Structure 1
């Protein structure tokens, strides 16, 4: 989908290989995280799940979180989509959507991640994902408003998410 010009143009695949139109999330704040099951940052799944549940409890329907497994960093996500789903549920009780495994860098990078990196380059204008558990925040209008490194704990970005949800509610 090289012609995509908006967040809402993308249709990444879910865990079953079915397209998920991001246009379904119009008006919502979306956090996108590239994930891995065998990474030093894997325990962030617990923080992400807590953030997901707490935010949706306080702001029902205003927030979406999508995990995108990736095996490009040290081979830390070697399993199948089914293996990944089971790992996330058994070990971390993950209830937010974990999508189909993608590449986030290089020639075969997911078009969504190509777009996210172009919209919000990293430190020093870097247009690549540095490691697992990098996070992108998209506002209710489909604009990338935040990007955080793997070392950023999920709970520390909660204020940015809440602020984005408040702005979305004010704009309704």
Structure 2
């Protein structure tokens, strides 16, 4: 399996967004949606991003419309919603599929590295979260119902790990 840092998803504007730019940082990768019961988690994700930005945390949102069609908008609508409703400053990338044959390689990698309950690789719903260490290793997977505030200790522990030697 390649390193997560070798993958290049798309930014909201369609431009390449190389994850290599985040080598040495801790990532919290989340599949998001604007019309979901868990959408208010954007506020907690932004709070984590703001609190730990200077320590090396980067939150990455990947909008997904695979669960109840809860992310129907285009990139501009998603960006406007995130900015106006939750004042999101972390990167919200291009809309992706997280399950099935068209799953984005980022989520294929994450779910292979950290399967869910009973070994299932499928993501069950919006706002599934993956914590990735500075070395690109997937540390943990969190259910949609796990609020961002509950990740504080895990994020702090990941940030306390030294960056890998280059």
TM-score range, shorter chain: over 0.9
> Any conservation in 1 of the 2:97–2:103 contact (CA below 8 Å)?
yes
RMSD: 1.1
Q: After TM superposition, where is structure 1 displaced by more than 2 Å over at least 4 residues in a row?
A: none
Structure 2: unaligned runs, 5 residues or longer? none
Normalised by the size of structure 1, how large is the TM-score?
A: 0.93
- The answer to whether 1:43 aligns with 2:37 is no
Match of 1:105 in 2: 99
**Residues 87-126 of structure 1, C-alpha deviation per residue, up to 9 Å, x if partnerless?**
0000000000000000000111001101100000011111
Q: Secondary structure at the match of 1:65?
A: strand
Further displaced range: 71-80 or 45-54: 45-54
Structure 1: unaligned runs, 5 residues or longer? none
- The answer to whether 1:52 aligns with 2:49 is yes
- The answer to whether 1:32 aligns with 2:29 is yes
**Residues 66-88 of structure 1, C-alpha deviation per residue, up to 9 Å, x if partnerless?**
00000000000000011000000
Q: Secondary structure at the match of 1:31?
A: strand
- The answer to whether 1:157 aligns with 2:154 is no
Normalised by the size of structure 2, how large is the TM-score?
A: 0.96
